[in-house]
Structure 1
Amino acid sequence: MASVSEAKSLVLDRITHRFASGTMAVSDINLDVKGGEIIALLGPSGCGKTTLLRIIAGFIGQSEGRVIIGNDVVDALPPNRRAVGIVFQNYALFPHLSISENVGYGLAARGVDKATRNKEAQRLLDMVQLGPFGERLPRQLSGGQQQRVALARALAIKPSILLLDEQEALSMADRVAVLSHGHLEQFGTPSEIYDQPQTLFVNTFVGTANRVTGTVIATDADGVKVALDAGGEIIARAPKPVRASDKVIVCLRPEHLTFVSDDSGFAGEIGMALPLGATVVHEIKAKDGSSIKISQARTGGTPLREAGTPVRVAPLAPGLATVFPQ
């Protein structure tokens, strides 16, 4: 979800939508997007991403809440008056129109003369590196090329808000909204989402995370001390309050772990080693039967650890592990 030409802010105020069947699609979504900010909606299939985009664009009227673009509440406006461009998951190109006509369709619907819209369509096709393909039909292009045509068509109307459905936006997003079952799990920068997940879902959905169980020993200013069921202790961060004796789930990212020679962390043995170019992934079998993966940079000449080798593993620094109540 990205703001573009003459970018305006976007506020979703308590957006809730129920389908006619009674199924809850999205529930109490609150987002405040600044003009010019790039926002990625992230979540599994069926989490409510597309429904939310359609509500913003005006194709669906939400059950509750308000959509505010700039200073205007746009709930009563039809899609063609919201200055919102959208690139659908399946691109939704008109199969009987040429590529140039597809790009200029929105301009034609707004009464722009043919010469002007043809010139603008050509400019946009040149921008997405499809200049020579204007007279072709959509079926004569690859999937990636059709995606670029859909993007050019969305940009042709000079939208204040550009919505991209199922696009690779995470790498360029200023902030990320993670959805699950219609609920907003977390809204923050990519670094915050990855390094400081606020829920177990975010921690395990974004990136890779090992999950082990344990019991809280104590909490203090340094973090939460946890006795792992696999043996050993670690210091972790806790997004939600936990108390001594609470049973918890501990999440550890493979790249946040390292082999140690002291008695910190927990003990296990090498199950397997998998070299992946510049990195190597070791699978560690812990004493309680759980399996932990550790990812490390692979330096030249470093031998792989053999299966069955006893090892001890710990986080690179206190607080890199995250605990959540069971």
Structure 2
Amino acid sequence: MDQLLSPQNKTLLSNTQLNLQTADIIGLIGPNGCGKTTLLKYLEHYINQQQSLPPASYIGLNTTKQKKPATVADFFHETILSKTEVKRLLVKMDMFVDLTTRLTDLSGGEFAKLALIKQLYLEQESILLLDEPTNYLDPESVTALAQMLKQSHLTCIIASHNCKFLTQFCQQIYKIKQQRLIELH
């Protein structure tokens, strides 16, 4: 891309190229306001316009708050999973909620876990763009998420301030610095 602009027309990245292969997991780090979220949203839009690529799904801190189904069971309704399988996946992420629990009663971290479970286990052909996935998660859930990502064969780009989390499974980690992507790992 030649240039990525913020909503305020500030140049965030210029003359940047990012090569992504199937099943790659790439990490992005950088200070607040450097363009991580804007880059992920741009990539979602760009990838979803390409016929030759699998669809991209952006999961950010505020993404899941709109248009939510009423209960946990409703959230997984369109999937082919049985209630038993859904419960097993919830336990795997240390979520001990009843399927009748209203989504409005879940914390931000609990809802983020639901969205991640759905993406990681049910939409295997998508490119996952995760924006700060460890926010609102307790240490055990961060460990469970890292394990899930290691075992998945998804293509992911993950923006995070948690470098320790990213180094557990990312093949490459880039830092956004001075309007460039600098490879760290």
TM-score, length-scaled by structure 1: 0.39
CA distance in 2, matches of 1:149, 1:90: 14
Residue equivalent to 2:146: none
Residue equivalent to 2:73: 100
Determine helix, strand or coil for the equivalent of 1:33.
coil
Indicate if the aligned counterparts of 2:58 and 2:129 stay in contact, CA closer than 8 A.
yes
2:123 equivalent among 154, 157, 161: 157
CA distance in 1, matches of 2:7, 2:36: 18
Q: Does 1:85 align with 2:48?
A: no
Residue equivalent to 2:136: none
CA distance in 1, matches of 2:132, 2:37: 8
1:24 equivalent among 2, 8, 11: 11
Determine helix, strand or coil for the equivalent of 1:17.
strand
Determine helix, strand or coil for the equivalent of 1:133.
coil
Using the TM superposition, give the Cα deviation of residue 25 of structure 1 relative to its aligned residue in structure 2, in angstroms.
Answer: 3.4
CA distance in 1, matches of 2:2, 2:125: 22
- 1:75–1:24: structure 2 CA closer, same or farther, 3 Å change rule? farther
Which of the pair is proportionally richer in strand?
A: 1
Q: Does 1:56 align with 2:43?
A: yes
Asked which structure has the greater CA Rg, the reply is 1
Aligned runs of 1:207-226 on 2, under 5 Å? none
CA distance in 1, matches of 2:43, 2:107: 29
Q: Does 1:128 align with 2:93?
A: yes
CA distance in 2, matches of 1:123, 1:89: 24
CA distance in 2, matches of 1:44, 1:19: 15
Residue equivalent to 2:183: 187
2:184 maps to a residue whose letter is: G
CA distance in 1, matches of 2:7, 2:116: 31
CA distance in 2, matches of 1:82, 1:45: 29
CA distance in 2, matches of 1:15, 1:161: 22
Aligned runs of 1:259-278 on 2, under 5 Å? none
- Between 1 and 2, higher relative CO (CA 8 Å, sep ≥ 6) is seen in 2
Determine helix, strand or coil for the equivalent of 2:23.
coil
Using the TM superposition, give the Cα deviation of residue 174 of structure 1 relative to its aligned residue in structure 2, in angstroms.
Answer: 2.4
Using the TM superposition, give the Cα deviation of residue 128 of structure 1 relative to its aligned residue in structure 2, in angstroms.
Answer: 2.4
1:43 equivalent among 12, 23, 30: 30
Give unmatched runs, 5+ long, in structure 2.
134-161
Give the RMSD, CA atoms, in angstroms: 3.0
Identity of aligned residues (%): 25
CA distance in 2, matches of 1:91, 1:137: 18
Give unmatched runs, 5+ long, in structure 1.
1-13, 62-66, 68-73, 190-326
Indicate if the aligned counterparts of 2:6 and 2:35 stay in contact, CA closer than 8 A.
no
CA distance in 1, matches of 2:112, 2:7: 32
CA distance in 2, matches of 1:34, 1:128: 27
Indicate if the aligned counterparts of 2:25 and 2:171 stay in contact, CA closer than 8 A.
yes
1:134-158 residue CA offsets vs partner (Å, 9 max, x unmatched): 2212332233322211212323222
- 1:27–1:125: structure 2 CA closer, same or farther, 3 Å change rule? same
CA distance in 2, matches of 1:176, 1:183: 13
